[in-house]
Structure 1
Amino acid sequence: MSKVLIFGGTRFFGKRLVEKCLANGDEVTIATRGKQRDDFGNRIERITVDRANQLSMETVFAKSLTKWDVIYDQVCFSPYEAQIACDLFAGQVGKYVFTSSLSVYDIDDQPLKCEKDFDPFSYPIRSGGQEAFSYSEGKRQAEAFFAQKASFPVTMVRPPIVLGEDDYTERLHFHVRKILKGEPIGIDYLNTKLSFVGSDDLAQFLCWIGTNDLTGPVNSSAPDQITLNHLLAIIEGGSEHQAAVVDSKETEAESPFNFPKSIYQDVSVAEASGYCFQPLNRWLAPLIHKLLAAEK
C-alpha cells in the first residue's frame, strides 16, 4: 500500500486516477480548492488548498510531517508553482509525477515527437506564474524547474489531447454534435495527423508510473495516429449524417483539432519500460458510438 497525494482528482482522468489508486489498495488524499464535489465518500482523505498560491500551500504542507510515497500533480502550470512544490516536498516524497503536455513540443515540419525534442534539463528557467506564460510555455517552464531543481525523483508525463465520455472540454463531443445537427465545422487541415490518448488509459499509466523507476519526460499517447478526415468519417458512419466542413474563417465554430501541421508522439520510452498504450483502432470508434448514442 502506498500513501498517495493527488492534486486535482475530482474530474476527468484525475478522477479515474483516484479510482485506479484505490483499486490498487493505496491510501489516497486529494488536494483541491474544494469547489468540485466528488463521489469517493470515506474511501479517501481530502485537503482544501489553492495549488497556485504559495501561502495556501505553505499553510497546509509546510509543517506537515506526512511523507508521501507518490504525489501526482495534475494542476501545475508554471515554474512558480513547480518551485512551491520543490520547496515544500523536499524530503517528503518518494516520487513526484507531474502531468505536463504534448504542447511542450513545437508544431513544425517534424510531426513525430520524441522526448529528446524538448529537453527540460537544459531549458533556460524563467520566473513567473500562470499569467506570465502561454499554456505551452508554462508547461515547458514547469518541466524545466522540476528537472533542474527538484531534490526528489520526478516523472514528467506528456499526454496529447485526452478523450473520454466525461471530458469536460467536450472537444470530441463538439464534432459529434455538429455533425448530428448538420451545423458547419471550421477545419482547414483535413489531412493533419494527430495522436490522442483515452482518459482511462492515461489514468492507468499514471497509476503505473507512480511505482515505476522511470523518471524524466515520457510521452503518453496511443501508438497510432488519425487524420481529421478519418475521424469525421467514423462519426459520419455511426450517425448516418455528413459533416459540413467549411473554412475556419467562415464560422465561429472552429474545430479544436484544427492543427496546421501533423503532430504525434513516439511512445517507445514508455513501451521499453513495460507499458503499452491502447491503439486508437481499439477504442476511438467505440467511444464515438457511445457519444452518438448519448446525443440521440
Structure 2
Amino acid sequence: MKILVFGGTRFFGKKLVTRLLADGHDVTIATRGKTTDDFGDAVKRVKMNRESREALFCLAQEQWDVVYDNICFSPQDALYSIAAFRDKVGKYVYTSSLSVYRMRDRALVEADFDPFHYEIVTGSREDFDYGEGKRLAEAVFFQKANFPVVAVRFPIVLGEDDYTGRLEFHINHVQAGEEIGMPNEEAEMGFISSDEAADFLCWVGTKSDIMGPINAASDSVYRLSELMGLIEEAAGKTAIVEEITEDNDDSPFGVEKTYYLDNAKAREAGFEFQDLHKWLPKLVESVIMKKK
C-alpha cells in the first residue's frame, strides 16, 4: 500500500511507521522536519506545515491508499484535508481522543459522542480547547468527507518514549517528596501503551474494514490510588497526594470522576488488547530504573 503519515517521527507515530515498513508498505512521512528519524532511505519525507492548505494540496497530487493523520487538532485542519484529498485516498485514519467525551463516571462507548450530528463551528487550533478541537474535527470528517474515515479515540498514551513526561511527572514528584494534586484518588482511568497504539493504528488502517469512531484502550483500568501505590512500591518512597496544590503540582491524571473507554467494539472486530495490569507495572519499573 502507498501510505502517507502526518506525524511519524516520534512517540506512537514513529512506531506506526516502523510497523508499516515491516509490513512492506510504501511510506511517506509529512512533518515540520524538526525531529530527526532513523528510517534512512526506507521512507520518503515531506517537510510541511500541517495547517497549510497549499501544502496539503501539493501532497494530494498523488493517490494514497491510506492517510494517517496524527496531528489534526481543529475543524479548519480537517476541512483542508477534505478539500485536498477528495477522491485521492482509500481510507483516512484520524487520531482522535478520549477528550471528545464530556461524560464521566462510567465506561464510555462510541455512541456517547455523535460526530455525525454535532454542530460544526469553523476555526483554527487556537480557537478551541483540545477536546472541542477534536470533536469538531471529527464532525467535519464524518459530515463532509467523500472518502472513508475512521476516527481512533485513544486515552492517555504512555511509553518510555512519551515526550510529554506525564508518567515521569508522578515518579519525579514521588522521588523528590513533592506534593501531587489529585482531586479524586478513587477515580478510575484507562491507558494504552505507545506500542499498542501503533499496533492498533496499523491494524485499523491496513488490516481492518472498520469505519467511523472506534475506541482503542488497553483492557482493565487503574484507580488513581492504585497507580500511585504502584509508583510508591517501585520507587521505594511514599507519595504525598493532596486534593488541592499549586498548579505546577497538579497531576496530568487528576480527574474528578472516573474517565475511561469501553473497547468492546474494537475487540469484537478482532483486535486483541493487552491487559493494563501487565504492561504498566513494567513501564513504571523501567522508567525508574533509567533514573538511577
Per the normalisation by structure 2, the TM-score is: 0.97
| SS of match in other structure, 1:248 | coil
1:111 counterpart residue number: 106
Distance 2:103 2:178 in 1: 29
Match of 1:246 in 2: 242
Match of 1:20 in 2: 19
Question: Which of 163, 166, 186 is equivalent to 2:161?
Answer: 166
Match of 1:61 among 59, 62, 65: 59
8 A Cα contact 1:12 1:166, kept in partner: yes
C-alpha separation in 2, matches of 1:251 and 1:183: 13
* Cα distance in 2 between the residues matched to 1:251 and 1:126: 31
Alpha-carbon shift at residue 46 of structure 1 (Å): 0.2
What's the CA shift for 1:251? 6.2
Q: Take 2:200 and 2:56, find their aligned partners in 1: how far apart are those partners?
A: 27
- Aligned AA (1:61): L
Superposition deviation, residue 279 in structure 1: 1.2
The answer on whether the counterparts of 1:185 and 1:251 sit within 8 Å (CA) in structure 2 is no
Report the Cα distance in structure 2 between the residues aligned to 1:99 and 1:57, rounded to whole angstroms: 17
CA shift, 1:107, in A, is: 3.8
- Determine if the alignment matches structure 1 residue 268 to structure 2 residue 264: yes
| 1:283 alignment partner in structure 2 | 279
Q: Percentage identity across aligned positions?
A: 47
| CA RMSD in angstroms, aligned pairs only | 1.2
Number of residues paired by the alignment? Answer: 291
Is residue 51 of structure 2 the alignment partner of residue 49 of structure 1?
no
Match of 1:177 in 2: 172
Find the partner of 2:87 among 67, 87, 91: 91
Give the Cα–Cα distance (whole angstroms) in 1 for the partners of residues 64 and 247 of structure 2.
49
After TM superposition, give the deviation of residue 226 of structure 1 in Å.
0.4
Which 10-residue stretch deviates more, 180-189 or 224-233? 180-189
Rounded to whole Å, the distance in 2 between the matches of 1:31 and 1:250 is 39
Q: Which amino acid aligns with 2:34?
A: K
Check if 1:228 corresponds to 2:227.
no
**Distance between the aligned counterparts of 2:59 and 2:286, measured in 1?**
42
Secondary structure in 2 matching 1:140: helix
Gaps of 5+ in 1: none
Q: 2:186 aligns with which of 191, 197, 220?
A: 191
Aligned to 2:7: 8
Q: Give yes or no for contact 1:223–1:265 (8 Å, CA) kept in 2.
A: no
Greater shift in the superposed pair: 112-121 or 181-190: 181-190
- Deviation of 1:188 (Å): 2.1
Structure 2 partner of 1:124: 119
1:129 deviates by 1.1
Q: Which residue of 1 aligns with 2:130?
A: 135
Contact 1:193–1:225 at 8 Å: present in 2 too? Answer: yes
**Gapped runs of 5+ residues in structure 2?**
none
Secondary structure, aligned partner of 2:241: strand
What letter matches 2:30 in structure 1?
A: A
Q: For residue 137 of structure 1, give the secondary structure of its aligned residue in structure 2.
A: helix
1: CA distance between counterparts of 2:86 and 2:102? 32
Q: Which amino acid aligns with 1:216?
A: G
1:135-171 superposed Cα distances (whole Å, 9 cap, x missing partner): 1011000000110111111000000000000100010
Q: Using the alignment, how far apart are the partners of 2:248 and 2:202 within structure 1? A: 39
CA contact (8 A) 2:184 2:243 kept: no
CA deviation vs aligned residue, 1:260-280 (integer Å, no higher than 9, x gap) = 111111111101110021111
Q: Hey, what's the Cα distance between the residues in 2 that align with 1:46 and 1:248?
A: 46
**1:86-113 CA-partner distances (Å, limit 9, x unpaired):** 11111111100000000000143x4210
Between 240-249 and 259-268, report the one with greater CA deviation.
240-249
Task: Select which of 210, 226, 229 maps to 1:214.
Answer: 210
Q: CA separation in 2, counterparts of 1:251 and 1:113?
A: 28
Q: Within 1, Cα distance between the matches of 2:69 and 2:246?
A: 39
1-side partners of 2:166 and 2:46: how far apart? 30
CA distance in 2, matches of 1:111, 1:229: 17
